[in-house]
Structure 1
Amino acid sequence: MGQLPTMPETAWATMRATADDRAARVRYRRALMLMVMTLVLPGSAQLVAGNRRVGRVATRIWVALIVAAVVGAVLAALDHEYAFWFVSDPRALGAIRLALMVLAVGWALLFLDAWRIGQPLSLSLGHRRTVVGLNGVLCFSVAGTLLFGAHLVGVQRSFILTTFSGDTVHGTHDGRYNVLLVGGDSGAGRWGLRTDSMTIASIDASTGKTVLIGLPRNMTDFPFAKGSVMRKAWPHGFNCGYPSCELNGVNTWVGDHLSLFKGVKDPGMDATISAAEGITGLKVSYWSFVNLAGFRDLVDAVGGVTLDVRQPIPVGGLGADVTGYIKPGVRKLNGFDTLWFARSRDSSDDYSRMARQKCVMNAMLHQVSPETVLTKFEKIAKASSQMISTDIPATEVDRFMGLALKAKGQPVATLSLVPPLVDTAHPDIALIRRKVDAAIRASEHPSSAAHHHRRKSPSTVTGGSIGSLHTGYAANDSTDLTDSC
């Protein structure tokens, strides 16, 4: 028999090198595939090539999370109040935050294990560097995203716990929530010393339709609610003489007579609420203090607010130099200019300013979208926590979020208790209560608007508001603030 031909040694070496290259490429693709599998379906890499017990646990957890997310999304789409509860309940937020942190750590460990299963030491140096780099990017990207989500959830939870610290849930009164909004410059501990504005937001508990009832800070000779401490101290009305017995002086008087309010958590607010109830005849459900410096930050956080500036609005004045003007036109204002638009009193009066404040409230309600809240959430939460203190309990936040969403798509009505309708020095309380009732009825039943018809908007503009002190300002008495601003 003849001998088989021998292959040159160089040919054998070439074949071995080619086989080694193919094997190296297979190992490289396998390592990459294990990481991709971990990204798409955590635990699948372990099921295929690693610890199957770990893989089964990881995949089951992942599938359970996907199912829970889908079910939650469906429930949120069908019932908005469920979604609002989910993002406002401190216990639910705490559980979500913990789950995100555990998921971040667990997923990162699965990526590291997938890298180990891929046998990085068997790869060429170039392939090894690529696998290590890609694994690091995926590991830190996924874990970082989840940890950032946990941070945002923590911010929301902290905001809810810090801001909504009330401990008593109040029901509706005649089917409405009446929330007293107080604006000022100072912190929550000093709010009454520098009260800037007072408004009762009367909200229909079913539809969210809202009537803003403005209380002038210079009103005097008004009664307090029956049965209140202030009613016992001032049975014939708050009429000790100008200016110490104006509405915004109630807290100052309370500070000098704290012995009358033993056991009352917040005497100044308690007294101011009794004044608002005595004037309007409404039962106040909750109160909210708005720090106006924080309001400026909130406007900046949402990217500004668009307002129709009808006249140059002075920045500064009344004891200080006017440093500039907000120019007329439909303009998107930042927080600084929005605050001055709402507060400026130079070349105008308190009632014109109240009208502008109502326009700002209306613009904020209708212009701040859910998309803006989601994309700028952390800034908004930070500004809001500095801006608001309230006795609304955390358990009621979801209810008011739902009402705010309903109110967003509806006209906001307003009634300010100012001249020429009301003589703030000697207010006709019976007239005020009739007007308040009529405004609320007109909001609930538009067909009854004849009881509270909107006056034709005056052609004059004074102090930046449509109307004048003599004829009244349109935004102070309107069934639709958008048309009056």
Structure 2
Amino acid sequence: MPQEKPDLRNLREPVRFKRALTLVLMTLVLPGSAQIVAGSKRTGRWAWRVLAGLIGIVLFLVVLALIWRAGTINLLARPGTLRVIQVLLILLAIGWAVLFFDAYRLGQPLTMERKHRLTMSILDGTLVLLVVGALIYGSVLVNTQRDFVASVFGSGAKSKAEKGRYNVLLLGGDSGADRVGTRPDSITLASIDADTGRTVLIGLPRNLAKVPFPEGTAMAKQFPDGFRWKNCTINCLLNGVYTYASEHKSLFPGDPHPGATATKQAVEAVTGLKVNYYVLIDLAGFRDLLNAVGGITLDIGKRVPIGGGTSPIKGYIEPGRNVHLDGYHALWFARSRAESSDYERMTRQKCVMSAMLNQLSPKTVLTKFQGIASASKEVVSTDIPAGELGTFTDLALDAKKLPVSSFSAVPPLIHTGDPDFALIKTKAAEAVAKSEALDKAGSGGDGKTSNTPSSKTSTSTTKKPSTSKPTSSPTTSANNVDDVASICKA
């Protein structure tokens, strides 16, 4: 039975006011404590049980995250788990609001002077708005995350790491009213160490000809001599594989993404590396995603035209140190091909990827999450299953601490019209081996230092930046293996 409300009229006014104020503040600090002291002890005990249960769950997740970070993220990222969290936050908001109103009632405001009664009403109302508002906003963020995961990530089969590495194909799709279908103008294979997150970016030119396909695949049967002009009629280059497969879905029965599947197969055959998953980023919507994260900052060594090709040049992105690019300018920096070659463009795209990896902080994700999630739903498509989200988030956090290296299959090493695919495989394997050697040696960066880089790894290097003008080729080394940080410091 609830306790009988005590009569406070015999207490002096300052005492009554302080008592009422204390009850409300006790509810803010420890929900249910006001009821234990002056109201229904049963209600207070139930509030404490709920609070203890929530604290226990949080502590369990913290300990689990310390032991198994990827598994914890996978658990929390599940749409079902997110729905439960969303409902719990709403119920917690309602319950806490009820406790605040009850604490206000227990203070018997009608027995106080008008100014004290007004003060208590304003304080209690403000605390209800702050606490409940924060919890409801949290539930909105959780719902946004649930919608994002359900919209972007699939429920397909999990792909195991091959020789301790995940290889994720990053495609920059350029679709629009003036384009026939989607053609990936940016093709990069990110080879990620499954233990350390150390990443190698393997860039493949979009105009790579005669690309083969793995034996036994539908595309290999269709093009036994490779994807070449005598077998097809339009754009028989690497970036045309996506369009061809999308227009010949009968070759991929039951596959919802034949273009991505065929491109993955081609990249596997070209590099000799198993492709676990793909991520397709629509460059037309990339601007919104970059704006959502606040843009990126780069050191730019050469002016880059805005426009060109079929449209006039509208201006330039000028060279300089710590140049901040919003979504519009970052997109042009990544995709501009006027006054440069495709190979220089490939390097700029890798610089943008590296910048986003290193500059996208947890604080940015938290404070701008709704904008990021909203833009990502329109920009990103992938076959990474939702159950692997934690694995790759965990690897991304590790990758932020390490430099990103790369290999580009471009001239003069590779003749794109008549590629030496055996050489591409050899050089890709060498780039991966060089990256793995750094982990085995316990090196924190370029193999010359053991210092662990900060979250802005690419902003520092033991090498002095070159003062020479960039050439049309993105690399200067004999084997076309380069350190992205030495080209564009992100």
TM over 0.5: yes
Conserved 8 A contact 2:188-2:204? yes
Q: Which amino acid aligns with 2:485?
A: T
Alpha-carbon separation, structure 2, partners of 1:475 and 1:124: 86
**Alignment counterpart, residue 213 of structure 2, candidates 189, 211, 224:** 224
Alpha-carbon separation, structure 1, partners of 2:100 and 2:268: 62
1:431: which partner in 2? 423
Establish whether residue 398 from structure 1 lines up as the match of residue 390 from structure 2. yes
Task: Indicate the larger mover: 381-390 or 95-104.
Answer: 381-390
Percent identity among equivalent residues?
Answer: 49
1:185: which partner in 2? 174
Q: Which runs of 5+ in 1 are unaligned?
A: 1-18
1:6: which partner in 2? none
Alpha-carbon separation, structure 1, partners of 2:433 and 2:465: 21
- The structure richer in helix per residue is 1
Counterpart of 2:471 in 1: which secondary structure? strand
**Alignment counterpart, residue 88 of structure 1, candidates 74, 77, 85:** 77
TM-score by length of 2: 0.86
Give the C-alpha shift of residue 261 in structure 1.
2.7
Q: Which amino acid aligns with 2:333?
A: F
Following superposition of structure 1 onto structure 2, how do residues 204-353 of structure 1 map, counting pairs within 5 Å?
204-240=193-229, 244-330=235-321, 331-353=323-345
Alpha-carbon separation, structure 1, partners of 2:482 and 2:75: 34
1:169: which partner in 2? 158
Q: Which amino acid aligns with 2:228?
A: N
Q: Which amino acid aligns with 2:298?
A: L
Alpha-carbon separation, structure 1, partners of 2:339 and 2:20: 74
TM-score by length of 1: 0.87
Alpha-carbon separation, structure 1, partners of 2:284 and 2:247: 27
Alpha-carbon deviations, 1:45-66, whole Å to 9, x = none?
1112211111110122223323
User: Structure 1 pair 90/447, CA: closer, same or farther in 2 (3 Å)?
Assistant: closer
Q: Which runs of 5+ in 2 are unaligned?
A: 1-7, 442-446, 448-463
Give the C-alpha shift of residue 255 in structure 1.
4.3
2:186: which partner in 1? 197
Alpha-carbon separation, structure 1, partners of 2:13 and 2:468: 84
Conserved 8 A contact 1:443-1:479? no
Alpha-carbon separation, structure 1, partners of 2:334 and 2:362: 24
Establish whether residue 64 from structure 1 lines up as the match of residue 64 from structure 2. no
Conserved 8 A contact 1:298-1:384? yes
Alpha-carbon separation, structure 1, partners of 2:187 and 2:275: 13
Following superposition of structure 1 onto structure 2, how do residues 50-199 of structure 1 map, counting pairs within 5 Å?
50-186=39-175, 193-199=182-188
Alpha-carbon deviations, 1:46-100, whole Å to 9, x = none?
1122111111101222233234334433443454335423542323222221111
Conserved 8 A contact 2:165-2:194? yes
Following superposition of structure 1 onto structure 2, how do residues 368-387 of structure 1 map, counting pairs within 5 Å?
368-387=360-379
Conserved 8 A contact 2:166-2:276? yes
Q: Which amino acid aligns with 1:315?
A: I
User: Structure 1 pair 329/87, CA: closer, same or farther in 2 (3 Å)?
Assistant: farther
Conserved 8 A contact 1:422-1:428? yes
Give the C-alpha shift of residue 202 in structure 1.
1.0
User: Structure 1 pair 415/196, CA: closer, same or farther in 2 (3 Å)?
Assistant: same
Alpha-carbon deviations, 1:154-186, whole Å to 9, x = none?
111211111111421111112211111111133
Larger Rg: 1
Q: Which amino acid aligns with 1:478?
A: V
Alpha-carbon separation, structure 1, partners of 2:479 and 2:181: 24
Alpha-carbon separation, structure 1, partners of 2:335 and 2:326: 14
Q: Runs (4+) of structure 1 moved beyond 6 Å?
A: 456-459
